């Protein structure tokens, strides 16, 4: 994959929605789509995503020949790239990753990642939507949130400045994933993992389970040790540590 180009817009309904439209019209990327304002930003599980003034909203669109199950691993690549972006502006010791792909600063969410995909003549189109709270956290949040600015003495980076750092970091991790597979990505993610070895609650649609978060399986699933000693693989859902 060649180095992605960047297209900056003033306003869009959703950068992910725009990426989908472009992919369905034949765009293969790689292309970063970013907007100063989203009128209908989306997060995981259909939640609204608020992009406050001075924050970053961007989507990377590309095409891959990997099957959907493997392509989904790109969410861990994205999380590592956001962590590298955060490292450039806040103390690295404060930056962690919570399963499946929530970058955190000082234990509070600072970014959201939404991966969507669909069939394409060249294989599978993938849209990796990333929102980063650079200047302000959302006014209303399901869980504790923060922004880079709250952990900096200097002004936070501007969105396009942050996107340049993010794009470079993303490409480094993507190349590693492309050439060496998921294991080194999973290992790097685990080194930054928030809450491993701690009690947590996983909300899985119509079911809620509690246990100890033990780590990642080779496919990215979270291993959860239940109170009866059984091991449960969590492949999709929301995980809460101490705030369920």
Q: Which two tokens stand for residue 200?
A: 């947590």
Instruction: Find, among 199, 156, 168, 186, the residue nearest to 75 by Cα.
Output: 186
pLDDT mean over 66-81? 94
Regarding whether 69 and 158 lie in a shared domain, the answer is yes
Residue 5, C-beta contacts closer than 8 angstroms, at least 6 positions apart: 30, 31, 32
Regarding whether 172 and 52 lie in a shared domain, the answer is yes
Answer yes or no: is pLDDT of 49 > 80. no
Regarding whether 24 and 109 lie in a shared domain, the answer is yes
What is the predicted pLDDT for the residue at 139?
75
Average pLDDT of the chain to the nearest whole number: 90
Instruction: Find, among 208, 218, 159, 156, the residue nearest to 186 by Cα.
Output: 218
pLDDT tier at 235, thresholds 50, 70, 90: confident
Regarding whether 203 and 184 lie in a shared domain, the answer is no
State the pTM of this model.
0.91
Regarding whether 173 and 207 lie in a shared domain, the answer is no
231-234 and 222-225 beta bridge pairing: antiparallel
What is the predicted pLDDT for the residue at 218?
83
CATH number at residue 225: 2.30.30.100
Regarding whether 210 and 100 lie in a shared domain, the answer is no
Regarding whether 62 and 163 lie in a shared domain, the answer is yes
Regarding whether 211 and 183 lie in a shared domain, the answer is no
Regarding whether 96 and 128 lie in a shared domain, the answer is yes
Regarding whether 174 and 74 lie in a shared domain, the answer is yes
Domains in the chain: how many in total? 2
What is the predicted pLDDT for the residue at 184?
95
pLDDT tier at 179, thresholds 50, 70, 90: very high
Cα 187 to Cα 125: distance, rounded to the nearest angstrom = 26
Signed CA dihedral, 219, 68, 14, 234: sign only: negative
For 214, the domain range is 199-240
% of the chain surpassing 70 pLDDT: 92
């Amino acid at each position: 994959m060649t180095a992605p180009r960047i297209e900056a817009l003033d306003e869009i309904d959703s950068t992910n929605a725009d990426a989908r439209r472009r992919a369905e019209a034949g765009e293969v990327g790689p292309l970063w789509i970013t907007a100063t304002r989203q009128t209908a930003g989306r997060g995981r599980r259909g939640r609204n995503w608020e992009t406050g003034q001075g924050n970053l909203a961007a989507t990377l669109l590309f095409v891959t020949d990997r099957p959907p199950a493997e392509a989904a691993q790109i969410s861990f690549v994205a999380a590592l790239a956001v962590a590298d972006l955060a490292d450039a502006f806040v103390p690295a010791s404060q930056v962690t990753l919570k399963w499946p792909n929530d970058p955190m600063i000082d234990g509070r969410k600072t970014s959201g990642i939404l991966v969507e995909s669909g069939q394409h003549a060249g294989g599978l189109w993938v849209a990796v939507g990333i929102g980063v709270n650079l200047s302000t956290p959302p006014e209303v949040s399901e869980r504790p949130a923060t922004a880079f600015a709250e952990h900096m003495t200097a002004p936070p980076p501007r969105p396009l400045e942050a996107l340049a750092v993010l794009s470079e970091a993303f490409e480094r991790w993507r190349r590693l994933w492309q050439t060496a597979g998921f294991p080194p990505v999973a290992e790097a993610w685990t080194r930054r993992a928030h809450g491993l070895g701690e009690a947590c609650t996983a909300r899985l649609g119509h079911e809620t389970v509690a246990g100890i978060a033990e780590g990642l399986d080779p496919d990215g699933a979270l291993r959860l040790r239940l109170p009866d000693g059984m091991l449960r693989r969590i492949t999709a859902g929301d995980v809460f540590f101490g705030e369920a």
